[in-house]
Structure 1
Amino acid sequence: MFADVMLPLSLTLIMGSLGLTLTPADFRRVLTAPKGVGIGLANLLVISPLLAFSVSELYGLTAVLAVGIVLLGSSPGGTTANMFTHLARGDVALSVSMTAVSSVASVITVPLFLGLAADHFGAEDISDQISMPGIAAKVFLITIVPLSIGMLIRARRTEWTLRNMAKAKRVALTAFVLVVVGAIISEFDEVSGSLDEVAPAVITFNVLAMTVSYLIARGAKLNGKQATAIALELGVHNTTVALAVAASVDDDLTAPAAVYGIFMFVTAGLFARFMARRNAEDPPPAPAPTTAPAA
């Protein structure tokens, strides 16, 4: 019941609400502000899955749990990351753009890294159930379709959308909480049985992803607000996408995403609170120099 009905319905609400917040400008920012978006996406689409591989190896996880963490690490950012970025006084526009582009890219990245992880960790029980075209089609249906519908509604009924934006975000957050709780209840035996093994791994992955991505962004000379947005995008993955894909392959794959969905609020919340103080103290960027008119 949960995997077949509640999970897809909740994910549709979440991705549809994300679409309501997006405009074509959020995708064009890849061209108009390529450095920030490019570094952020490189972290999200490449560094994050590689860290998931490394953490799984570090903790010596069973094959299924290791694949589950890689699936989580290859999932896109979500609206919750945008919310935490706002609370942290980070660059919300950059966060939204990364969420938008990574959601589209997930049609390729999720099945790609899922297949690589199954082969690498020798998850023979699930490797035969992984079909690249099938997973790509599922990710397309659960992400791109509702996201596009949300964007279309915003384009056609902009005033109505803006009036109801806060309500849509509350609905999405409620749906997310219900998804995590539902996943834990429906797979309680699996989650509780592997909690002592999964919890340290997902917490390590979460903290490491935020730390590494923040340092990379700062090393690339991005400002604190941009680095904050990138770090939170890696610290708050779209858990519902990971759960939906995991449930379609093997229920045992859902444990890492379900456990991660609990702890990410704590770690990301602490990081957001710390960065909110630092970003509030940062001076505003200097205005671009203007050329004096010729005498």
Structure 2
Amino acid sequence: MGSALTTIGLPVALGIIMFGLGLSLTVGDFARVAKQPRAVIIALLCQLVLLPVVCFGLVLAFRLPPVLAVGMMMLAASPGGTTANLYSHLFRGDIALNISLTAVNSVIAVVTLPVITNFAIAWFRPFDDQLGMQWSKVLEVFAIVLLPVALGMLVRRWKPRFAEGMDKPVRVASVIILAVVIAGAVASNWQLLVDNVAALALITVLFCLISLAVGYVVPRMLHVARPQAVACSFEIGIHNATLAIVIAQTVFGSMELSLPAAVYGVLMFFIAFAFGFLIRGRAASSDDTQEEQAEAVVS
């Protein structure tokens, strides 16, 4: 029952999530990237280059077992999750930029995720019989990530009113299915999760915090406006853990490989929420300081 839930349920849940993402996208979301190249390039460099390097350093520092090390690197290589849009909305980020980043990132991940995963497998050698992610598996990643998004975008183009009406039900359905599937997977692999959660809790919390901080601080240092920096922060900090879990369990057939993403997937919601309040508090205090300085100049 548990294995059927994960082998069938997880890809279905991810497919619905990615289809839902497609329903909210238009070709204009990709074109918008050209209008905000600075924020997009900075965010993508942080996501695709800086974070895998940071994650690699953390994995070496924590001396994780090879399978868990590859699982962490696969998580780092995953694109931003659709939940980033919700957090951006809550904490006054640029949601349009979030949507564009998620769209572009999901396309790029079809190439970068297998490349980073292959590097990790070659470095840590967790599987004796496997050299890496072969082309057939890269095609599986392509099918898992892009086909449902493309289908959603086509539905939006041909039936815009239907897509608008289905947007909320699809989101609700994806959350319910995902919750049921994850609950089933946790129940059937409870002991494996318990045995590894202590080893993974600290590194996943640190990785999430660093991801969020990098996504906010680096764009701000490079003079990106605050709403765009907030969007970058959540896009970079909230990885698509579901995608990493699906690839680990369906493409590689390894529950253990999916553990870092599973632990991260639970903890990131709380960390991202706390981080959102932290940067909102900093923004409020900086606004107060600017007002005081303006008053001082006037007086």
TM-score, length-scaled by structure 2: 0.88
Residue number in structure 1 paired with 2:100: 97
User: Considering only aligned residues, what root-mean-square deviation do their CA atoms show, in Å?
Assistant: 1.9
Counterpart residue number, 1:142? 144
Contact 1:179 1:240 survives alignment (8 Å): no
Contact 1:183/1:258 (<8 A) preserved: no
The amino acid across from 1:131 in the alignment is M
Deviates more, 1:76-85 or 1:259-268: 76-85
Q: How far has the Cα of 1:179 moved from its partner?
A: 4.2
Write the distance in 1 (CA, Å) between the matches of 2:20 and 2:129.
32
1:39-92 Cα deviation digits (max 9, x unpaired): 111111112211211111111111111110000000011211111111111111
Q: CA deviation at 1:131?
A: 2.6
Q: Please give the alpha-carbon distance, in whole angstroms, between the structure 1 residues aligned to 2:177 and 2:26.
A: 23
Picking from 226, 239, 242, the partner of 1:240 is: 242
| Number of residue equivalences | 282
2:202 counterpart residue number: 200
Aligned-partner residue type, residue 106 of structure 2: S
1:6-34 per-position Cα deviation (integer Å, ceiling 9, x unaligned):
01110110100010111111111221211
Q: Give the one of 269, 275, 284 matched to 2:273.
A: 269
Distance across 1 between alignment mates of 2:263 and 2:110: 24
Superposed CA offset, 1:94-153 (max 9, x none): 11111111111111111100010112223243643x333123111111110000001111
What are the within-5 Å matches in structure 2 for residues 43-192 of structure 1?
Answer: 43-125=46-128, 127-128=130-131, 130-192=132-194
Supply the distance in 2 between the matched residues of 1:228 and 1:126 (Cα, whole angstroms).
Answer: 43
Please give the secondary structure, in 2, of the residue aligned with 1:164.
helix
Structure 1: state its 5+ residue gaps: 284-295
Matched-pair contact (CA < 8 Å) for 2:110–2:142: yes
Which secondary structure state, in structure 2, belongs to the residue aligned with residue 125 of structure 1? Answer: coil
- The percent of aligned pairs where both chains have the same amino acid is 34
Q: Contact 1:180/1:262 (CA < 8 Å) preserved in 2?
A: no
Query: Aligned equivalents of 1:238 and 1:182: distance in 2?
Result: 19
2:230 equivalent in structure 1: 228
